[in-house]
Each structure stands twice: as structure tokens, then as C-alpha cells.
């Protein structure tokens, strides 16, 4: 039982770390001489422009930013609630609250990654002055980490739903 508990804790911390890196790091769209994410666009590793309300479809970018931040916060809250439930639940009860919050984090990261997947091309085309040199890029590791974090938070949420507290 102790090994299972350690695995679940490590899995949850890994999920949170993936969410932090995917949200903070600047590699959602990358190429030879540039990288772009949900916060800024950098060309030649020195010329960086922050995304603000002058960008067309900025509301789409804000939706991705907000849902990624929310998923990270929910994942951290779920971990704290898990620790509280670990000491407060009666024997045989399930970690339902932790599971619900973790599955909400899963939903948020899925929404963010889906919006970015669908709307990235439109945002780049509507803001050609900002994204002029980013046409030959591909999805970067932060984008991939967001999808991996989706899978991790989903599996973690299901584990909490199935798990019962034992002695």
C-alpha cells in the first residue's frame, strides 16, 4: 500500500510539473530562428514581443492562457486536498473530491491545448507582422507537454476515483 501511495504522489507531482513547464516555457510553436508560446513571440532569441490586446484574436490567446493557468492551479489544489483527505477520510472511503478537482484540471488543459491546436493558424495569419518569420515552424515541446499533462491528469483523476483509503 505504501508503494502505491508513493506512486500516486509522484505521478501527481509529475503532472503538476508538466503543467507548470507547459504553461511557463516559451516553446508552443518553434522553428530554426524563432519560438512562440501563449505569452510572447521571440525571433533570433533576442527580439521578443509580448502578446497583448493589440494582437488580433487576443481573446483566443487569453482563453488558452487562462485555462492553462487554471489547470495548473486546480492540479495543485487537488494535491493539497489529497493530502488532507489522506489524514481525514475514514477507512474505506474514496478520494472523490480530489478526483473531481483533478479531472477539472484535466478538462482545462484539454480545452487549452485544443483551442491552440485549432486556432493557431488563424492567429498567425491575422497577425502577420508579429508572426511573419514563424511560418516554417512546428509544434514545440511545451505544446506536447500540455497534451502529455492532459493524459497524466486524466489517469491521475481516475486513480483517485478508484482508490479507497486503507490502513
Looking at residue 29, what is its pLDDT?
87
pLDDT on residue 31: 82
Identify the structural domains of the chain with CATH numbers, from first to last.
31-50+57-165 (1.20.140.150)
Q: Can you list the pairs that 40-49 forms with residues at least 24 positions away whose Cβ atoms lie under 8 Å?
A: 41/130, 41/131, 41/134, 43/133, 43/134, 49/130
Q: Name the pTM for this structure.
A: 0.89
**pLDDT tens per residue, range 24-35:** 988 888 888 888
pLDDT, tens digit, for every residue of 110-122? 999 999 999 888 8
Q: What residue spans of the chain are helical by DSSP H?
A: 2-24, 58-88, 96-126, 128-131, 141-162
Contact 11, 152 (CB under 8 A): yes
Amino acid at each position: 500500500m505504501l508503494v502505491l501511495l508513493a506512486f500516486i504522489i509522484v505521478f501527481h507531482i509529475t503532472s503538476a510539473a508538466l503543467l507548470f513547464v507547459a504553461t511557463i516555457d516559451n516553446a508552443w510553436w518553434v522553428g530554426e530562428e524563432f519560438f512562440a508560446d501563449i505569452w510572447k513571440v521571440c525571433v533570433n532569441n533576442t527580439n521578443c514581443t509580448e502578446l497583448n490586446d493589440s494582437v488580433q484574436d487576443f481573446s483566443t490567446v487569453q482563453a488558452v492562457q487562462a485555462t492553462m493557468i487554471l489547470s495548473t492551479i486546480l492540479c495543485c489544489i487537488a494535491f493539497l486536498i489529497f493530502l488532507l483527505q489522506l489524514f481525514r477520510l475514514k477507512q474505506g472511503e474514496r478520494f472523490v473530491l480530489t478526483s473531481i478537482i483533478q479531472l477539472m484540471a484535466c478538462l482545462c488543459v484539454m480545452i487549452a491545448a485544443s483551442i491552440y491546436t485549432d486556432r493557431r493558424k488563424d492567429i498567425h495569419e491575422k497577425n502577420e507582422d508579429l508572426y511573419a518569420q514563424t511560418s516554417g515552424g512546428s509544434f514545440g515541446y511545451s505544446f506536447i507537454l500540455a497534451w502529455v499533462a492532459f493524459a497524466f491528469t486524466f489517469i491521475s483523476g481516475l486513480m483517485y476515483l478508484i482508490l479507497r483509503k486503507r490502513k
